[in-house]
Amino acid sequence: MQGLYIHIPFCIKKCNYCDFISFACEESKMQSYVIALKNEIECIVNTAEDKTIDTVFIGGGTPSYLDSSLIVDIMDTARKCFNIKEDAEITLEANPKTFTKQKLIDYKKAGINRLSIGLQSANEESLKILGRVHSYDDFLNSYNMAREQGFENINIDLIYNIPSETKIMFKNTIDKVIKLKPDHISLYSLIIEEGTPFYDMNEKGLLQLASEEDEEEMIAYAKAQFENTQYNRYEISNYAKEGKKCRHNMNYWQNGYYFAAGLGAHACLNIDGNIIRQKNDNTLSSYIKGCFSYKKECILKEDSMFETVMLGLRLVEGLNTKSFQKRYEISFFDAYADTIKKLFEEHLLEQNGDYVRLNEHGLNIQNTVLLQFMN
Protein backbone atom coordinates (compact mmCIF):
# COMPACT_ATOMS: atom_id res chain seq x y z
CA MET A 1 0.00 0.00 0.00
CA GLN A 2 1.26 3.47 -0.89
CA GLY A 3 -0.11 6.93 -0.14
CA LEU A 4 0.30 10.52 -1.30
CA TYR A 5 0.03 13.44 1.13
CA ILE A 6 -0.54 16.97 -0.24
CA HIS A 7 -0.16 19.96 2.08
CA ILE A 8 -2.16 23.19 1.70
CA PRO A 9 -0.82 25.75 4.21
CA PHE A 10 -3.55 28.43 4.10
CA CYS A 11 -6.18 29.30 6.71
CA ILE A 12 -8.67 32.08 7.34
CA LYS A 13 -7.22 32.37 10.84
CA LYS A 14 -4.71 30.28 12.75
CA CYS A 15 -6.26 28.58 15.78
CA ASN A 16 -4.87 29.18 19.25
CA TYR A 17 -3.60 25.60 19.60
CA CYS A 18 -2.23 25.03 16.10
CA ASP A 19 1.47 24.45 15.44
CA PHE A 20 1.03 23.06 11.91
CA ILE A 21 2.71 24.84 9.01
CA SER A 22 -0.07 27.20 8.01
CA PHE A 23 -0.56 30.89 7.29
CA ALA A 24 -3.44 33.32 7.60
CA CYS A 25 -3.96 36.43 5.44
CA GLU A 26 -1.90 35.04 2.54
CA GLU A 27 -4.72 34.60 0.03
CA SER A 28 -2.77 36.41 -2.69
CA LYS A 29 -0.21 33.59 -2.69
CA MET A 30 -2.62 30.68 -3.11
CA GLN A 31 -2.50 30.42 -6.89
CA SER A 32 1.29 30.74 -7.03
CA TYR A 33 1.59 28.09 -4.34
CA VAL A 34 -0.57 25.66 -6.30
CA ILE A 35 1.54 26.20 -9.44
CA ALA A 36 4.65 25.33 -7.40
CA LEU A 37 2.86 22.38 -5.79
CA LYS A 38 1.94 20.93 -9.19
CA ASN A 39 5.56 21.34 -10.31
CA GLU A 40 6.74 19.51 -7.21
CA ILE A 41 4.34 16.61 -7.81
CA GLU A 42 5.82 16.31 -11.32
CA CYS A 43 9.31 16.22 -9.74
CA ILE A 44 8.71 13.72 -6.94
CA VAL A 45 7.20 11.12 -9.26
CA ASN A 46 10.72 10.71 -10.67
CA THR A 47 11.80 9.15 -7.35
CA ALA A 48 9.05 6.54 -7.60
CA GLU A 49 9.93 2.96 -8.41
CA ASP A 50 6.23 2.12 -8.03
CA LYS A 51 3.85 4.90 -9.12
CA THR A 52 0.70 3.18 -7.83
CA ILE A 53 -1.22 5.19 -5.21
CA ASP A 54 -3.88 3.68 -2.95
CA THR A 55 -4.75 6.79 -0.92
CA VAL A 56 -4.48 10.56 -1.26
CA PHE A 57 -4.84 12.94 1.68
CA ILE A 58 -5.10 16.70 1.09
CA GLY A 59 -4.40 18.30 4.46
CA GLY A 60 -3.47 21.61 5.94
CA GLY A 61 -4.03 24.29 6.89
CA THR A 62 -7.47 24.47 5.40
CA PRO A 63 -7.60 22.93 1.90
CA SER A 64 -11.29 23.85 1.59
CA TYR A 65 -10.31 27.53 1.84
CA LEU A 66 -8.81 27.33 -1.67
CA ASP A 67 -10.91 27.95 -4.74
CA SER A 68 -12.12 24.48 -5.72
CA SER A 69 -10.74 24.89 -9.25
CA LEU A 70 -7.27 24.79 -7.69
CA ILE A 71 -8.09 21.51 -5.93
CA VAL A 72 -9.25 20.10 -9.28
CA ASP A 73 -5.96 21.22 -10.87
CA ILE A 74 -3.94 19.55 -8.12
CA MET A 75 -5.79 16.26 -8.51
CA ASP A 76 -5.49 16.40 -12.30
CA THR A 77 -1.71 16.74 -11.93
CA ALA A 78 -1.54 13.95 -9.37
CA ARG A 79 -3.43 11.63 -11.73
CA LYS A 80 -1.22 12.59 -14.66
CA CYS A 81 1.90 11.72 -12.67
CA PHE A 82 0.81 8.76 -10.54
CA ASN A 83 -1.32 5.71 -11.12
CA ILE A 84 -4.11 6.52 -8.65
CA LYS A 85 -6.28 3.44 -8.29
CA GLU A 86 -9.95 3.62 -9.25
CA ASP A 87 -10.98 2.63 -5.72
CA ALA A 88 -8.45 4.95 -4.03
CA GLU A 89 -9.52 6.71 -0.85
CA ILE A 90 -9.12 10.45 -1.52
CA THR A 91 -9.59 12.68 1.53
CA LEU A 92 -9.83 16.45 1.78
CA GLU A 93 -9.66 18.27 5.11
CA ALA A 94 -12.34 20.92 5.41
CA ASN A 95 -13.38 23.52 7.94
CA PRO A 96 -16.99 24.57 8.41
CA LYS A 97 -17.91 27.78 6.62
CA THR A 98 -15.12 27.42 4.02
CA PHE A 99 -16.89 25.34 1.40
CA THR A 100 -20.00 25.84 -0.71
CA LYS A 101 -22.31 23.64 -2.76
CA GLN A 102 -20.27 24.42 -5.88
CA LYS A 103 -17.02 23.52 -4.14
CA LEU A 104 -18.49 20.17 -3.10
CA ILE A 105 -19.62 19.51 -6.69
CA ASP A 106 -16.08 20.24 -7.87
CA TYR A 107 -14.59 17.99 -5.20
CA LYS A 108 -16.71 15.12 -6.46
CA LYS A 109 -15.53 15.80 -10.02
CA ALA A 110 -11.95 15.71 -8.76
CA GLY A 111 -12.56 12.25 -7.32
CA ILE A 112 -12.56 13.26 -3.67
CA ASN A 113 -14.66 10.69 -1.84
CA ARG A 114 -13.90 11.40 1.81
CA LEU A 115 -14.18 14.62 3.82
CA SER A 116 -12.62 15.28 7.21
CA ILE A 117 -14.45 18.20 8.82
CA GLY A 118 -12.94 19.97 11.81
CA LEU A 119 -15.67 20.64 14.37
CA GLN A 120 -13.58 20.27 17.59
CA SER A 121 -16.53 21.13 19.87
CA ALA A 122 -20.29 21.70 19.69
CA ASN A 123 -20.07 24.38 22.39
CA GLU A 124 -19.88 27.99 21.24
CA GLU A 125 -17.76 29.09 24.21
CA SER A 126 -15.21 26.35 23.51
CA LEU A 127 -15.02 27.25 19.81
CA LYS A 128 -14.20 30.85 20.74
CA ILE A 129 -11.52 29.76 23.21
CA LEU A 130 -9.93 27.55 20.54
CA GLY A 131 -9.97 30.46 18.09
CA ARG A 132 -12.20 28.71 15.56
CA VAL A 133 -13.84 30.90 12.91
CA HIS A 134 -17.12 28.96 12.81
CA SER A 135 -20.11 28.33 15.04
CA TYR A 136 -21.82 24.98 15.64
CA ASP A 137 -24.63 26.08 13.29
CA ASP A 138 -22.00 26.76 10.61
CA PHE A 139 -20.76 23.22 11.09
CA LEU A 140 -24.28 21.75 10.88
CA ASN A 141 -24.98 23.63 7.65
CA SER A 142 -21.67 22.47 6.16
CA TYR A 143 -22.12 18.85 7.25
CA ASN A 144 -25.69 18.65 5.91
CA MET A 145 -24.62 20.28 2.64
CA ALA A 146 -21.91 17.63 2.19
CA ARG A 147 -24.42 14.84 2.80
CA GLU A 148 -26.86 16.41 0.31
CA GLN A 149 -24.09 16.40 -2.32
CA GLY A 150 -23.61 12.68 -1.87
CA PHE A 151 -20.54 12.40 0.36
CA GLU A 152 -20.88 9.03 2.03
CA ASN A 153 -17.62 8.98 3.96
CA ILE A 154 -17.26 11.87 6.41
CA ASN A 155 -15.01 12.17 9.44
CA ILE A 156 -15.61 14.67 12.23
CA ASP A 157 -12.60 15.89 14.23
CA LEU A 158 -13.10 16.57 17.94
CA ILE A 159 -10.85 17.75 20.78
CA TYR A 160 -11.15 16.99 24.48
CA ASN A 161 -9.57 18.79 27.45
CA ILE A 162 -10.39 22.19 25.94
CA PRO A 163 -9.62 24.96 28.47
CA SER A 164 -12.62 25.79 30.70
CA GLU A 165 -14.78 23.11 29.06
CA THR A 166 -16.72 21.13 31.66
CA LYS A 167 -17.50 17.42 31.50
CA ILE A 168 -21.14 18.28 30.78
CA MET A 169 -20.13 20.49 27.85
CA PHE A 170 -17.90 17.74 26.46
CA LYS A 171 -20.63 15.10 26.81
CA ASN A 172 -23.00 17.44 24.99
CA THR A 173 -20.60 17.50 22.03
CA ILE A 174 -20.34 13.70 21.95
CA ASP A 175 -24.13 13.27 22.08
CA LYS A 176 -24.74 15.81 19.30
CA VAL A 177 -22.10 14.32 16.99
CA ILE A 178 -23.39 10.76 17.40
CA LYS A 179 -26.88 11.87 16.36
CA LEU A 180 -25.46 13.11 13.06
CA LYS A 181 -24.22 9.57 12.23
CA PRO A 182 -20.86 10.45 10.67
CA ASP A 183 -18.87 7.56 9.26
CA HIS A 184 -15.76 8.23 11.31
CA ILE A 185 -14.89 10.22 14.44
CA SER A 186 -11.42 11.37 15.51
CA LEU A 187 -11.09 12.42 19.14
CA TYR A 188 -7.78 14.03 20.08
CA SER A 189 -6.47 15.34 23.37
CA LEU A 190 -5.52 19.01 23.31
CA ILE A 191 -1.73 19.28 23.32
CA ILE A 192 -0.18 22.60 24.33
CA GLU A 193 2.52 23.13 21.69
CA GLU A 194 5.37 25.60 21.99
CA GLY A 195 5.02 28.61 19.71
CA THR A 196 1.22 28.74 19.94
CA PRO A 197 -0.94 31.33 21.75
CA PHE A 198 -2.09 28.57 24.11
CA TYR A 199 1.51 27.87 25.10
CA ASP A 200 2.08 31.49 26.11
CA MET A 201 -1.25 31.59 27.96
CA ASN A 202 -0.46 28.35 29.78
CA GLU A 203 2.96 29.65 30.82
CA LYS A 204 1.16 32.61 32.44
CA GLY A 205 -1.32 30.30 34.18
CA LEU A 206 -4.26 31.57 32.11
CA LEU A 207 -5.54 28.19 30.88
CA GLN A 208 -7.87 26.11 33.02
CA LEU A 209 -7.30 22.51 31.90
CA ALA A 210 -9.14 19.41 33.07
CA SER A 211 -7.72 17.24 35.82
CA GLU A 212 -6.36 13.81 34.93
CA GLU A 213 -9.43 12.23 36.55
CA ASP A 214 -11.85 14.41 34.56
CA GLU A 215 -9.92 13.68 31.36
CA GLU A 216 -10.21 9.93 31.98
CA GLU A 217 -13.95 10.31 32.60
CA MET A 218 -14.36 12.20 29.32
CA ILE A 219 -12.57 9.47 27.37
CA ALA A 220 -14.54 6.72 29.10
CA TYR A 221 -17.85 8.45 28.32
CA ALA A 222 -16.95 9.03 24.66
CA LYS A 223 -15.71 5.46 24.20
CA ALA A 224 -18.85 3.98 25.75
CA GLN A 225 -21.18 6.17 23.65
CA PHE A 226 -19.29 5.41 20.46
CA GLU A 227 -19.28 1.68 21.04
CA ASN A 228 -22.99 1.71 21.87
CA THR A 229 -23.67 3.22 18.45
CA GLN A 230 -21.41 0.87 16.40
CA TYR A 231 -18.32 3.07 16.21
CA ASN A 232 -15.39 0.71 16.64
CA ARG A 233 -12.23 2.07 18.19
CA TYR A 234 -9.42 0.96 15.89
CA GLU A 235 -6.67 3.36 16.95
CA ILE A 236 -6.02 5.29 20.16
CA SER A 237 -7.88 8.39 18.91
CA ASN A 238 -10.03 7.06 16.07
CA TYR A 239 -13.44 5.40 15.81
CA ALA A 240 -15.15 4.16 12.66
CA LYS A 241 -18.31 2.54 11.37
CA GLU A 242 -17.83 -0.85 9.71
CA GLY A 243 -15.62 -0.50 6.62
CA LYS A 244 -14.86 3.19 7.26
CA LYS A 245 -11.39 3.14 8.80
CA CYS A 246 -9.15 5.84 7.34
CA ARG A 247 -7.02 3.84 4.91
CA HIS A 248 -4.49 6.66 4.49
CA ASN A 249 -3.80 6.86 8.21
CA MET A 250 -3.76 3.08 8.53
CA ASN A 251 -0.82 3.11 6.13
CA TYR A 252 0.98 5.54 8.46
CA TRP A 253 0.29 3.37 11.51
CA GLN A 254 1.52 0.29 9.67
CA ASN A 255 4.73 2.22 8.86
CA GLY A 256 4.02 2.04 5.15
CA TYR A 257 5.39 4.16 2.33
CA TYR A 258 4.01 7.48 1.15
CA PHE A 259 4.98 10.40 -1.05
CA ALA A 260 4.48 13.97 0.08
CA ALA A 261 4.17 17.30 -1.70
CA GLY A 262 3.81 20.76 -0.27
CA LEU A 263 5.39 22.99 2.32
CA GLY A 264 6.91 21.07 5.25
CA ALA A 265 5.36 17.78 4.13
CA HIS A 266 6.92 14.48 5.28
CA ALA A 267 7.45 11.42 3.08
CA CYS A 268 8.61 7.87 3.74
CA LEU A 269 10.03 6.25 0.62
CA ASN A 270 11.52 2.91 -0.36
CA ILE A 271 14.44 3.71 -2.66
CA ASP A 272 16.61 0.82 -3.83
CA GLY A 273 15.63 -1.16 -0.76
CA ASN A 274 16.51 1.67 1.63
CA ILE A 275 13.93 3.41 3.80
CA ILE A 276 14.28 7.16 3.26
CA ARG A 277 12.53 9.74 5.43
CA GLN A 278 12.13 13.06 3.62
CA LYS A 279 10.96 16.45 4.92
CA ASN A 280 10.21 19.41 2.67
CA ASP A 281 11.44 22.93 3.37
CA ASN A 282 8.92 25.14 5.20
CA THR A 283 9.76 28.58 3.77
CA LEU A 284 6.74 29.78 1.79
CA SER A 285 8.54 32.39 -0.34
CA SER A 286 11.23 29.91 -1.46
CA TYR A 287 8.68 27.20 -2.17
CA ILE A 288 6.60 29.46 -4.41
CA LYS A 289 9.76 30.25 -6.39
CA GLY A 290 10.15 26.55 -7.06
CA CYS A 291 13.10 26.06 -4.71
CA PHE A 292 12.21 22.59 -3.43
CA SER A 293 14.62 21.75 -0.62
CA TYR A 294 14.49 18.40 1.15
CA LYS A 295 16.07 17.02 4.28
CA LYS A 296 16.69 13.32 3.69
CA GLU A 297 17.56 10.65 6.21
CA CYS A 298 18.26 6.98 5.65
CA ILE A 299 16.50 5.08 8.44
CA LEU A 300 18.55 2.35 10.11
CA LYS A 301 16.92 -1.07 10.40
CA GLU A 302 16.78 -0.89 14.22
CA ASP A 303 15.09 2.54 14.12
CA SER A 304 12.58 1.37 11.52
CA MET A 305 11.79 -1.67 13.65
CA PHE A 306 11.08 0.51 16.68
CA GLU A 307 8.90 2.87 14.59
CA THR A 308 6.90 -0.11 13.32
CA VAL A 309 6.33 -1.26 16.91
CA MET A 310 5.51 2.27 18.13
CA LEU A 311 2.97 2.85 15.36
CA GLY A 312 1.53 -0.67 15.34
CA LEU A 313 0.79 -0.57 19.05
CA ARG A 314 -1.34 2.54 18.52
CA LEU A 315 -3.81 0.24 16.76
CA VAL A 316 -6.40 -1.66 18.75
CA GLU A 317 -5.71 -4.79 16.66
CA GLY A 318 -2.01 -4.29 17.41
CA LEU A 319 1.16 -5.18 15.54
CA ASN A 320 1.11 -7.86 12.85
CA THR A 321 4.03 -10.07 13.87
CA LYS A 322 4.00 -12.00 10.57
CA SER A 323 4.38 -8.76 8.58
CA PHE A 324 7.11 -7.63 10.99
CA GLN A 325 9.14 -10.79 10.42
CA LYS A 326 8.68 -10.62 6.63
CA ARG A 327 9.84 -6.99 6.53
CA TYR A 328 12.83 -7.26 8.89
CA GLU A 329 13.77 -10.96 8.60
CA ILE A 330 13.70 -11.33 12.36
CA SER A 331 10.94 -12.43 14.72
CA PHE A 332 9.31 -9.66 16.77
CA PHE A 333 9.52 -12.02 19.77
CA ASP A 334 13.28 -12.46 19.30
CA ALA A 335 13.98 -8.79 18.61
CA TYR A 336 12.34 -7.61 21.86
CA ALA A 337 12.29 -10.80 23.96
CA ASP A 338 12.98 -9.29 27.41
CA THR A 339 10.60 -6.35 26.96
CA ILE A 340 7.78 -8.54 25.63
CA LYS A 341 8.17 -10.99 28.53
CA LYS A 342 8.01 -8.14 31.05
CA LEU A 343 4.92 -6.54 29.44
CA PHE A 344 3.08 -9.87 29.36
CA GLU A 345 3.87 -10.36 33.04
CA GLU A 346 2.57 -6.85 33.79
CA HIS A 347 -0.65 -7.70 31.90
CA LEU A 348 -0.22 -4.80 29.45
CA LEU A 349 0.39 -6.84 26.31
CA GLU A 350 -1.64 -9.69 24.84
CA GLN A 351 -1.53 -11.89 21.76
CA ASN A 352 -4.35 -12.61 19.35
CA GLY A 353 -3.28 -14.86 16.49
CA ASP A 354 -0.63 -13.08 14.42
CA TYR A 355 -1.19 -9.83 16.32
CA VAL A 356 0.35 -8.55 19.54
CA ARG A 357 -1.56 -5.66 21.06
CA LEU A 358 -1.84 -3.49 24.12
CA ASN A 359 -4.86 -4.15 26.30
CA GLU A 360 -7.15 -1.32 27.42
CA HIS A 361 -4.87 -0.26 30.28
CA GLY A 362 -1.82 -0.54 28.04
CA LEU A 363 -3.38 1.77 25.45
CA ASN A 364 -4.07 4.34 28.15
CA ILE A 365 -0.38 4.42 29.15
CA GLN A 366 1.04 3.75 25.70
CA ASN A 367 3.91 6.23 25.95
CA THR A 368 5.18 4.55 29.11
CA VAL A 369 5.00 1.14 27.45
CA LEU A 370 6.86 2.30 24.35
CA LEU A 371 9.75 3.61 26.42
CA GLN A 372 10.46 0.01 27.40
CA PHE A 373 10.82 -0.97 23.72
CA MET A 374 13.12 2.01 23.19
CA ASN A 375 15.37 0.94 26.03
Find the mean pLDDT for residues 1-26.
Answer: 94
Q: Where are the domains of the chain?
A: 2-251, 315-375
**Sheet strand arrangement including 355-358:** 319-320, 355-358, 349-352
pLDDT digits (tens, 9 = 90+) for 195-248: 999 999 999 999 999 998 999 899 999 999 999 999 999 999 999 999 999 999
pLDDT digits (tens, 9 = 90+) for 188-203: 999 999 999 999 999 9
DSSP line for 21-41 = S-EES-GGGHHHHHHHHHHHH
**SS3 sequence, 218-286?**
HHHHHHHHHHHCCCEEEECCEEECCCCCCHHHHHHHCCCEEEEECCCCEEEEEECCEEEEEEECCCHHH
Task: Give Dmax (Cα) for the chain.
Answer: 59
Domain 2-251 has CATH 1.10.1660.10: no
Give the pLDDT of residue 166. Answer: 95
Check whether 367 has a pLDDT greater than 90. no
Q: pLDDT tens digits for 113-169?
A: 999 999 999 999 999 999 999 999 999 999 999 999 999 999 999 999 999 999 999
Could you read off the pLDDT of 248-271 as tens digits, one per residue?
Answer: 999 999 999 999 999 999 999 988
What pLDDT does 281 receive? 87
Quote the pTM value: 0.95
